[in-house]
């Protein structure tokens, strides 16, 4: 099967050129001006941007929290991803039973994703405790299972202590694997949560007040120190929500530390005043870290622009407002943490980033696709428009104006945080390995067509 995409504005993280892309059996075979080859399909991309498919390296499909299960599974979540122009995800697998092996949860997640996903997918492992067995198992997981990054948490039930983090990062660094970290100081959170709950201050705004910026900044600072002591092991800070935490990452990079930064659309477009919305709507935004004061947003954009923040991923972790989020009525601490976003990431960043001239089209490609693919070992198969790469390609119509309504989205959840946002430009075609899976609002893929990606170690 062959396809030619004609006359597009082809954007990579480095270049913008007008031309054609020729695809054979799912692989990009030729890129250039006016390619003359016979092909089974022709797609006219005149006046459109043609970009590498989005790579979302922070999703929580099917996540079982203590009280609820995230409502997108590997089918609904990846269909929504495809509509939003994302063609690969790397999902953060959830905690398993106490004392389980690393492989246990990877097997569980293969069971969740097999025969369901419609885009290609990988998993980040999760380190929920550390002993000799876990340290010894890491090599097998990295080399044989194709899982080359692991998440640790500094809060929640299975948080790790500093000495275990050092052991973990030392070993993962030796293996070339990346440690991704949820950075919040658990002691600070516990103190303030108890402080507010004991004074009957339980509405959604106290979720934010009980998780102050300082809790995140202390944890980011500590992780940079620990990674350095672990032999400059690769450290990836997930969901950076504050300007000061980003500043710490900037300094670490200046000092040649092997640190990568991620932020998410919610921290660029939403702020903490939303927790005070009437009718308990503030529950929609209960996520960790919480939404912050608005002044952070412009500064985070600057840190995207200057390369401090390498990636914008989603932390997609959806719960219905009218069901699971209601557990938090009368007590914010009972509300499942997380919000949807897998479908709106590229449209928001294209409209508010590229069209509003905050970032170039090349930077857009870098933060949504190329950089995450490189950091997490999906490159060069994913994350670029390059001869030999998978033909994971998205065509964006910059003239298509869309007002976001939850009804038009495909996330399996009853709200979006971006209702009524007016966007300039939207993805109109999503292609995965040469197959058009979304075209003009129609899903054309097949359940289960997505393949597990055995990742190599980081290419940065």
Binding residues vs ligand URP (CB under 6 A): 60, 182, 287-288, 315, 317, 337-338
* Burial of residue 1, with CB atoms counted within 10 A of its CB: 0-12 exposed, 13-18 middle, 19 or more buried: exposed
Is position 151 an interface residue for Zn ion (rule: CB under 5 A)? no
Q: Which does 287 bind (CB under 5 to 8 A by kind): Zn ion, ligand URP, none?
A: ligand URP
Please check whether residue 433 is in contact with residue 392, taking contact to mean a CB–CB distance below 8 angstroms: yes
Phi, psi of 86 (to 5 degrees): -100, 130
Q: Which does 134 bind (CB under 5 to 8 A by kind): ligand URP, Zn ion, none?
A: none
Between 318 and 434, whose beta carbon lies closer to ligand URP?
318
Between 337 and 389, whose beta carbon lies closer to Zn ion?
337
Between 50 and 183, whose beta carbon lies closer to Zn ion?
183
CA dihedral 74, 80, 81, 85 (to 10 degrees): 150
Q: Which does 177 bind (CB under 5 to 8 A by kind): ligand URP, Zn ion, none?
A: none
Nearest to 147 by CA among 167, 169, 170, 122: 122
x/- contact string, 307-346, with Zn ion (CB under 5 A)? --------x-------------------------------
Nearest to 342 by CA among 82, 120, 93: 82
Could you tell me how far CA 139 lies from the centroid of its own chain? Answer: 25
- Cα–Cα distance for residue pair 81/346, rounded to 1 Å: 10
Q: For ligand URP, which residue has the nearest CB?
A: 337
Residue-level length of the chain: 460
Angle (CA) 117-411-118 rounded to 5° is 15
Q: For Zn ion, which residue has the nearest CB?
A: 182
Q: Which does 338 bind (CB under 5 to 8 A by kind): Zn ion, ligand URP, none?
A: ligand URP
CA dihedral 4, 361, 48, 371 (to 10 degrees): 40
Q: Please, what is the minimum distance in Å from the beta carbon of residue 92 to Zn ion?
A: 6
Q: Please, what is the minimum distance in Å from the beta carbon of residue 262 to Zn ion?
A: 10
Reading the block at residue 241, the tokens are 């929500």
Q: Please, what is the minimum distance in Å from the beta carbon of residue 211 to ligand URP?
A: 10
Between 56 and 315, whose beta carbon lies closer to ligand URP?
315
Contact pick of 182, 325, 410, 455 for Zn ion (by CB under 5 A): 182
Residues at the interface with Zn ion (CB under 5 A): 182, 315
């Amino acid at each position: 099967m062959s396809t030619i995409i004609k006359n597009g504005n082809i954007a990579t993280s480095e270049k913008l050129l007008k031309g054609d892309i020729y695809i054979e059996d799912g692989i990009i075979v030729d890129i250039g001006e006016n390619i003359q080859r016979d092909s089974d399909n022709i797609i006219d991309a005149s006046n459109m941007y043609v970009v590498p498919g989005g790579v979302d390296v922070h999703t929580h499909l099917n996540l079982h929290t203590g009280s609820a299960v995230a409502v997108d599974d590997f089918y609904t979540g990846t269909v929504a991803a495809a509509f939003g122009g994302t063609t690969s995800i790397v999902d953060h697998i959830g905690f398993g039973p106490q004392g389980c092996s690393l492989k246990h949860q990877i097997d569980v997640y293969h069971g969740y994703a097999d025969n369901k996903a419609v885009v290609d997918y990988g998993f980040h492992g999760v380190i929920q405790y550390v002993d000799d067995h876990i340290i010894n198992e890491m090599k097998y997981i990295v080399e044989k299972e194709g899982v080359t990054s692991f998440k640790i948490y500094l809060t929640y039930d299975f948080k790790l202590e500093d000495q275990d983090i050092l052991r973990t990062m030392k070993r993962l660094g030796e293996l070339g694997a990346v440690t991704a970290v949820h950075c919040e100081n658990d002691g600070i959170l516990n103190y303030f949560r108890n402080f507010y709950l004991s004074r009957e201050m339980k509405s959604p705004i106290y979720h934010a007040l009980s998780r102050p910026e300082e809790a995140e900044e202390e944890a980011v600072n500590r992780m940079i120190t620990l990674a350095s002591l672990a032999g400059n092991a690769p450290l990836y800070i997930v969901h950076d929500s504050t300007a000061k935490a980003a500043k710490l990452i900037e300094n670490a990079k200046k000092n040649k530390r092997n640190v990568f930064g991620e932020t998410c659309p919610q921290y660029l477009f939403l702020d903490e005043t939303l927790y005070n919305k009437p009718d308990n709507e503030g529950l929609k935004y209960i996520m960790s870290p919480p939404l912050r004061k608005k002044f952070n947003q412009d500064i985070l954009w600057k840190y995207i622009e200057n390369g401090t923040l390498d990636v914008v991923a989603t932390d997609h972790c959806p719960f219905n407002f009218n069901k699971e989020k209601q557990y938090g009525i009368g007590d914010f601490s009972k509300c499942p943490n997380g919000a949807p976003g897998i479908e709106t990431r590229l449209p928001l960043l294209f409209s508010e980033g590229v069209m509003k001239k905050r970032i170039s089209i090349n930077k857009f490609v870098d933060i949504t696709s190329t950089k995450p693919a490189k950091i997490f070992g999906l490159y060069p198969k994913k994350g670029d428009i390059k001869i030999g790469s998978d033909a994971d390609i998205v065509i964006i119509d910059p003239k298509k104006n869309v007002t976001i309504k939850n009804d038009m989205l495909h996330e399996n959840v009853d709200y979006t945080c971006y209702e009524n946002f007016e966007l300039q430009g939207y993805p109109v075609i999503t292609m995965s390995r040469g197959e058009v899976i979304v075209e003009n609002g129609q899903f054309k893929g097949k359940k289960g067509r997505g393949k597990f990606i055995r990742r190599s170690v980081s290419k940065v």
